[in-house]
Structure 1
Amino acid sequence: MMRTIFLLLLLTGVAVPATAQRPAGYPRSYDALIAEARVERVVDAYGNADTAAMAPTIAAFRRAFPGVRVNYVELESRDLYRRAVSETRARRPSADLVWSSAMDLQAKLINDGFAQAYQSPEKPALPQAAVWKNMGYGVTAEPVGFVYNRRLIPPAAVPRTHEAFERLLRDRRGPLTGRVATYDPTRSNVGYLYLTEDYGTTRDTRGLLQAIAATRPLLSRTTGPMLDAVASGRAAIAYNVVGPYALARARRDARIGVVFPRDYTIVASRVAFIARDAT
C-alpha cells in the first residue's frame, strides 16, 4: 500500500524526498512502509483528469520511486465508478488509487465500502471539509466559470454574474442560438453535479437554464470540445466550465477569456481514496 500512499501524498502537494525517505515529521513506522514500497513494482490509479495534466505528478512519483511504475488509466467519471465497483465485486485486479472530480460518486464509493481508511499525517494541515471519514481526500479546489470567445463577446458584454449571463442570453438570443456550450447533464456526471450545486444555491437557476435551452446549446460530455468550440468561434460562450482546464487553455490561446462569477462560484474538488483491496 505504501506506493499508493505516496502517490496520494504527491496529489496533495507534499514534498516526497527523491530517495524515498520518510518525510520530515512522519512517524517512524513509515520506514517499514517505505521498505515495502521498494519491493513493489507498479501502482494502478484510475482518474478522470486528463493524462497530460497528470504527467507532472506521475513524473514526481517516478523520481521518488524509480523502480515503481504508475499505470494511470483515464476514464469518464461514470465509467470509473462502474469499473471500480464491478472489478471489486468480481474480485478482479483493480485500481490502488481512485481519483475523480465526481465528488458525489466518490462519496458513494466510500460509503458503500470500496475505500480503506488512511489517517494521513498531513490531515491537520488540510481544511476539515477536505477529508471524509479518513478515506476520501479532497486534493484540489477547482472553481467553475464561464468561458467566452473574446472576438464574439466584447468586454462590455462579458457576464460577471449568473444573472448577467441569463440577461445576455435573453437579449442576444438570435445571435447566440446554437452558439452556447455546456455539459450534457445526461452524459456528464460532473455537469450534472454542477447543476445540482446551482439549484442548491439559488432558485433563479431555473430561469437561467431556460434561457440556455432557448439557444439550442451545444452539449458536451467533456471539457475539451467546449473549449475547442469557443476558441474556434463555433460557440461564443460556455457555461459551468472546469476552471483549471479553461485557464490553462486561455494561457496559450488568446481567443479565450475566462470569468469566475461574482455572485457565487462553485468550487469542486477531486477526491482521492485508496481502494479497499489495495495492498
Structure 2
Amino acid sequence: MRSSVFASLLGLLCLLTGIQSAMAFEIEYQERFGTSNAASVIRILSSTDSDRFKPVINGFIKRNPDLGVHYVTASTANIYAAIASEKQPFDLVISSAMDLQMKLANDGFTKAVNSTQTSLVPSWARWRTEVFGFALEPVVMLISKKDFANLPVPRTRREMLALIRNNASIFKDRIGTYNPETSGAGYLFSTQDARQSDTFWRLAEVMGRLNAKLYCCTSKMIEAVEKGDLALAYNLLGSYANATLPADSNAQIVAFEDYTHILLRTAIIPITSKNPVGGIRFLDFLVSPDGQSILDTEAKLPALNNSVIDKLANRKPIRLDSGLLVFLDRMKKAHFLREWSAALIQN
C-alpha cells in the first residue's frame, strides 16, 4: 500500500517536473486539481491568479470527477510566447490581454469551437468561433486613504494630472503603474488610453518626472498601496482589488468619471492542444450559467451579465475585434514604446 502511494506521488512529481523543465517561458505558479487517477487531465495556461480561479476549477471538478486540471499561471506576455513561439501543448489558454489573444487567433494558433454553450456567448463577447470572453474587468485606480486624507479624490484623469503635479512631495517615488514593455495587459491599457485621450501622454510625462514605479501585475500594486508604499496605482484590475481588500483597508478603488475601460478576460483553444475535447469541455463550463454564477459570486470575477458593471455610466468597453491588432504591428508597437519610454523614463 505504502509503495503504491509512494509510486503515485513520485509519478506526479516527475510529471510536474518534466512539464516545468520543458517550458522555457516563466511560470509563476502551477497546481494540479482532481484525483491522481483521473481519466484525463486538462492543461490550462492562464494569467488569472490561482486563488481567484480555484472556485471555478473546483466547480468544474465537482461536476466532472473523472477529469483532472493542471493549472499554470504566467504573465500575459509569456502566455503569448508560450503558444506563438514555443508551441506549448495547453488545452485552454486564458488571458486578460485581449489583443494578444486576438493575435493568436488571427495568426492561426487557435481552433474553432462550435459547441452549444459557446454559441450562446453574446456576439460582443466573442470573435468568430475562436476567442470567447467569459468575464468582465474594470480598469481602475487605487489610492492610499492615508495619503488622500487631506486631498480631493480625482474623478477624471485631468483632475489626477493636476493633483499629482501640484503635490509632488506626496507623489514623488510613490506612483505605480504597469510596465507596458513587459506586460501584455499593461501595453493594452496604455494603448487604449492613448486612443481614448491625449491626456495619457501628459500623464505619462508627469508620472515620469515623479519617478513612477513600474510593475508586472495588479497584485503587486495592490500590496504596495495597502502597505502605504504607493500613494496611488494607475490602471489596475478592479476585480482583484475588490476581492482582496479587507473592509478596513488603506486602499480605495476609484473608477474615473471620464471613462473606465472594461476589458474581457478571454479563452481560446490553441492548435497545439493534445486534449482539445477536454479544453472545450472546460470552456463550455466557463461560459455556462453554472460557471458564470461561480465566477460572479465565488471567484469575484465579474460575469458577462454583472449588474454593477453594466450600470457604470462611464464604462468604455474595449471591443473584441480586429482593431485590437493595430498596436501589435511591429513598427507601431516599437514606436509607441519609444514614445512611452521617453515620456515616463526621464533619466
| Short-chain TM bin | 0.7 to 0.9
Other-structure match for 1:79: 78
**Paired residues for 1:52-63 under 5 Å:** 52-63=51-62
Do structure 1's residue 233 and structure 2's residue 228 form an aligned pair? Answer: yes
**Whole-angstrom distance in 2 between the partners of 1:205 and 1:86:** 32
Alignment match of 1:106 (pick from 72, 81, 101): 101
**Whole-angstrom distance in 1 between the partners of 2:203 and 2:173:** 16
**Paired residues for 1:179-198 under 5 Å:** 179-198=174-193
C-alpha distance after superposition, 1:135-193 (max 9, x if no partner) = 10011110011101111112751111111111111110122100111111212111111
- Structure 1 outlier segments of 4+, above 4 Å: none
> Offset at 1:257?
0.3
> Offset at 1:48?
0.6
**Whole-angstrom distance in 1 between the partners of 2:260 and 2:127:** 22
**Paired residues for 1:158-197 under 5 Å:** 158-197=153-192
Contact 1:146–1:238 (8 Å) recurs in 2:
yes
Do structure 1's residue 271 and structure 2's residue 266 form an aligned pair? Answer: yes
Three-state SS of the structure 1 residue aligned to 2:135 is coil
Q: Which runs of 5+ in 1 are unaligned?
A: 1-38
Contact 1:194–1:240 (8 Å) recurs in 2:
yes
C-alpha distance after superposition, 1:24-70 (max 9, x if no partner) = xxxxxxxxxxxxxxx94110010011011110011011101112110
Do structure 1's residue 145 and structure 2's residue 140 form an aligned pair? Answer: yes
- Structure 1 letter corresponding to 2:176: A
Other-structure match for 1:5: none
Other-structure match for 1:131: 126
Other-structure match for 2:318: none
> Offset at 1:252?
4.9
**Whole-angstrom distance in 2 between the partners of 1:176 and 1:42:** 48
Contact 1:173–1:214 (8 Å) recurs in 2:
no
Contact 1:87–1:94 (8 Å) recurs in 2:
no
Do structure 1's residue 44 and structure 2's residue 39 form an aligned pair? Answer: no
Three-state SS of the structure 2 residue aligned to 1:269 is strand
Q: Which runs of 5+ in 2 are unaligned?
A: 1-37, 277-347
Other-structure match for 1:202: 197
Do structure 1's residue 94 and structure 2's residue 85 form an aligned pair? Answer: no
Aligned Cα root-mean-square deviation (Å): 1.7
Other-structure match for 2:216: 221
> Offset at 1:277?
3.8
Size of the aligned set, in residue pairs, is: 237
Contact 1:186–1:192 (8 Å) recurs in 2:
yes
Under a length normalisation based on structure 1, what TM-score does the superposition of the two structures give? 0.80
**Whole-angstrom distance in 2 between the partners of 1:178 and 1:74:** 30
Check 1:116–1:253 CA distance in 2 against 1; reply closer, same or farther (3 A cut): farther
Under a length normalisation based on structure 2, what TM-score does the superposition of the two structures give? 0.65
Check 1:209–1:86 CA distance in 2 against 1; reply closer, same or farther (3 A cut): closer
- Structure 1 letter corresponding to 2:69: V
Check 1:113–1:253 CA distance in 2 against 1; reply closer, same or farther (3 A cut): farther
> Offset at 1:198?
0.3
Three-state SS of the structure 2 residue aligned to 1:254 is coil
**Whole-angstrom distance in 1 between the partners of 2:65 and 2:192:** 42
Three-state SS of the structure 2 residue aligned to 1:266 is strand
